Amino acid sequence: MRSLLLPLVLGLAALAGAARAADLPALWAERVKSTVAVEYTVQNENDRHPTLAYGVVIDGRGTIILPSAAIDQRLATSQLRDFRVYLPGDPTGYAGTYLGQDVYTGWHFVRVEEKVRSRLTPITAFARPASPVPALAEELWGIGLRPKEEDFMPYLLQSHLALIQSLPQKTGVTQQEVAGPGLPVFNREGAFVGLALSSFGQTFMQFSEGNRGGEAVILVDLEESSAFQLADEVLPNLGRVPRNVDGRPLAWLGAYGLEPMDRDVASFLKLSAQSGAVVSEVLENSPAEKAGMKPHDIIVAIDGRPIPRFRPDRVVTDYVEREIERRRPGDVMALTVLRGSDRIELKATLGDEPKLVREADRTYFDRLGFTAREFVYGDAVARRIKVGEGGGAIVRYVKPNGPAALANLQSDDWIQEVDGAPVRTYAEAVAKLAAIEKDPLRSEFVLLVRRGSDTAILRVKLR
């Protein structure tokens, strides 16, 4: 009897699998409506260049999330122009509006114009009340999009789950590419199981017969990814739409240069079952300084909960930073630190992060051939000086072959004097440089700049 049942069970399982496979075209037709390509222009001082990214629709208002790597973190939001949203297989671009970046998830948010929203399906339509966690070796599938010249035609990717790891978000890794970065991953039943990350799982090494030096070339697949963030890490955060394009308010602690606790130190302190983050520096006037934190303190618990054990060790720094980023200025963060052999409880009231480089005011002087930007808190940290000792302006961009470039002015130079007169503020620097820019009789001017620990006097010739 048992010998008859086994073939019957196997046959039914095969039929069920075939039925699910037959349903894949129907599942595909609906789920591809949750994906888009987003094109935008980066406006620099002397050129414009288009950039492409892939994203997923998250609500009925046409809100789209793009992965963190889709937009360079150093770009000012004023440089991001002309957002266009493309549906798979449709060469028509629709107007999009950049909403900003959420620092906790890293996602960039874009909203498409209303007239096309009815053709889109939010990814939440394919989510389950209890997000399914795929099992090891489970078959998964996802969506990739071809380039613009092929009208972003969608195509199918399939693979099997190889690993789930906390990095610190729960991240699945498949045996081969399963979706385009920023695009969704599904199980065989069509349930949303995750969102593909920027590619890091698959790399290829290429050797050339003509390469006598023996150097290998590493190729990274940027259009497809084998890594994805699990749905239960994605779905709870879809409501984190930024209030403004700068993503503010931004919570700030001021514990700088976090490093993972050394394994030997952890063993000595009997902390092998957990991770810890070592504070390299406590920033001036920061919430961490006001709370009494000291350099070399080891953060071992947050809000009374020990920091989990992570592998690789470096993941712990991301974990602590994300714990800060998910909060808001004014929140109280309880920190347990080890200082030598003492265990100390600290309470830090988080502040609003000082102005970032990407938010700094900037002015381009075309005749002089460079852009000056405002000196911000981070510049003082990078130069290891007190905030009150900063000022003047920082060189952001130098036009190739322009007067400033020929005088050897370089990006990130700190302008401290113009024509022998100190410039203590950005406004002073801009006023002096603007006067030179507008003076047709000026043939040259002199800058005193600081570059690292050195200073240099540069004579800029305008004729």
Looking at residue 311, what is its pLDDT? 84
CA–CA dist 420, 411 (Å, integer):
21
Task: Give the C-alpha separation, 83 to 246, whole Å.
Answer: 17
CA distance 394 to 172: 42
Greatest alpha-carbon pair distance for the chain in Å reads 105
Contact 386, 374 (CB under 8 A): no
Alpha-carbon distances of 419 from 190, 367, 426, rounded to whole Å: 67, 17, 16
What are the b/e assignments for 8-29, b being 16+ CB within 10 Å?
A: eeeeeeeeeeeeeeeebeebee
CB 326, CB 104: distance < 8 Å:
yes
Q: What is the predicted pLDDT for the residue at 222?
A: 61
pTM of the model: 0.87
pLDDT reported for residue 152 = 96
The amino acid occupying position 199 is: S
Distance CA 226, CA 164 (A): 12
CB distance 295 to 279 below 8 Å? yes
DSSP string over 325-363: HTS-TT-EEEEEEEETTEEEEEEEE-EEPPPPGGGS-EE
Q: What are 446's two structure tokens?
A: 């002199």
Contact assessment for residue 156 and residue 35, using Cβ atoms and an 8 Å cutoff: no
3-state secondary structure (DSSP) of residue 267: helix
pLDDT recorded at residue 2: 43
Pairing relationship of beta strands 227-230 and 192-196 according to DSSP bridges: antiparallel
Across the 463 residues of the chain, what is the mean pLDDT of every consecutive 10-residue run? 42 43 84 97 92 96 96 91 97 96 96 97 93 93 96 96 92 95 96 88 47 49 86 95 94 95 82 89 96 96 94 91 96 95 95 95 96 96 92 95 97 96 96 96 96 94 91
What is the Cα–Cα distance from 37 to 408, expressed in whole angstroms?
A: 41
Determine the pLDDT at residue 182: 96
What lies within 8 Å, CB to CB, of 322 at 6+ separation is 104, 168
Rounded CA-CA distance 114/117 in Å is: 5
Distance, CA of 352 to CA of 374 (rounded, Å): 19
Query: What amino acid occupies position 170?
Result: K
Residue 22 DSSP class: H
Q: What is the DSSP string of 106-137?
A: --EEEEE-GGGGGG---GGGG--SSPPPPPTT
Do the beta carbons of residue 253 and residue 282 sit within 8 Å? no
Q: Which of 197, 174, 189, 173 is nearest to 70 (CA)?
A: 197
Compute the Cα dihedral for 309, 310, 314, 317 and give only its sign. Answer: negative
E-only strand ranges, 136-182: 139-145, 154-166, 170-174
Per-residue pLDDT at 48:
92
Rounded CA-CA distance 81/4 in Å is: 68
